[in-house]
Amino acid sequence: MDARHVIHWKGHLTIRDGSRSARDFLEALSTGNEVTVDTRELQSVDVCHLQILVAAHNFARCLGKRMDVLVPPGGALDEVMGKVGLADPLDASLLRSGGTWTGIAHDERNAA
């Protein structure tokens, strides 16, 4: 049975919470095919969690699993994403559909 796992990001997430967040993703991805990250109660988030989010999304894709991120417009994650532009070494950015981040796009123009 493939249950949807929901990871709730709430309150203020800092680097001190990073290992717990990474563990949550590993557990969810190891036990189901669909993971949702709910950020509706998130008040602030640091860049470490953006890195964890991108890594978890890439890991889910490699495993053939789906990961969605619920992001209310103007919410903490939406605000941070707008400020930093989410760029990793692969020039990846999250794709948005309404209030959900649905995937990662890689800018092929910048690929070596």
pLDDT at residue 33, rounded to an integer: 86
Residues in the chain, pLDDT under 70: 1-2, 84-112
DSSP code per residue over 39-80: EEEEEEE-HHHHHHHHHHHHHHHHTT-EEEEE--TTSHHHHH
Coil, strand or helix at 25? helix
> Please, what are the domains in the chain?
4-107 (3.30.750.24)
Indicate whether this model's pTM tops 0.85: no
How do residues 15-43 score in pLDDT, each as one tens digit? Answer: 999 999 999 999 999 988 899 999 999 99
Answer yes or no: are the C-beta atoms of 90 and 106 closer than 8 Å: yes
3-state SS assignment for residue 32: coil
